[in-house]
């Protein structure tokens, strides 16, 4: 029953970076050799062509995000999709990807790279 409750958690999704500060981006890049600081993470989000964030509705903390780099016409690259470890396995990553792909669906060439163990997700 607890697992069922966890899957139904309310999540807000947004494409806006309004009000997003580095302190709302803590905890990402777990397991990376050189994890990005929250300040660098915010810079990455600001410089991406497309961003979708998943927010905890109570704290407005970012709990997941996906980015895309694109020329807006022919190609796009999805370099980052992350969900905080405490929020994984609740469908947040799937929803982030669905929303991003809907947004860039007119672009014919979309590339993504990931670690081998994550290939099944994509």
pLDDT digits (tens, 9 = 90+) for 61-113: 999 999 999 999 999 999 999 999 999 999 999 999 999 999 999 999 999 98
CATH number at residue 28: 3.40.630.30
Span 12-36, average pLDDT: 95
- The answer, yes or no, to whether residue 119 has pLDDT greater than 90, is no
- 3-state DSSP helix/strand/coil percent for the chain, to nearest 5? 30, 25, 45
β-strand pairing of 109-112 with 62-70 = unpaired
Edge to edge, the sheet with strand 62-70 lists 12-14, 50-55, 62-70, 75-83, 109-112
The residue range of the domain holding 114 is 2-118
Q: Which helix (H) or strand (E) holds 40?
A: helix 38-47
Tally of structural domains, the chain:
1
pTM of the shown model: 0.89
What does the alpha-carbon distance between residue 111 and residue 104 come to, in Å, rounded to a whole number? 12
């Amino acid at each position: 029953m607890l697992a069922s409750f966890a899957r139904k958690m309310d999540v807000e999704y947004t494409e806006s970076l309004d009000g997003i500060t580095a302190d709302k981006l803590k905890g990402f890049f777990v397991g990376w050799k050189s994890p990005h600081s929250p300040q660098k993470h915010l810079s990455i989000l600001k410089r991406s062509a497309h961003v979708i964030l998943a927010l905890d509705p109570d704290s407005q903390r970012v709990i997941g995000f996906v980015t895309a780099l694109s020329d807006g016409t022919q190609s796009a690259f999805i370099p980052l999709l992350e969900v905080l470890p405490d929020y994984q396995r609740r469908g947040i990553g799937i929803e982030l990807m669905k929303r991003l792909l809907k947004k860039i669906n007119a672009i014919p060439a979309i590339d993504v790279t990931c670690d081998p163990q994550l290939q099944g997700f994509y």
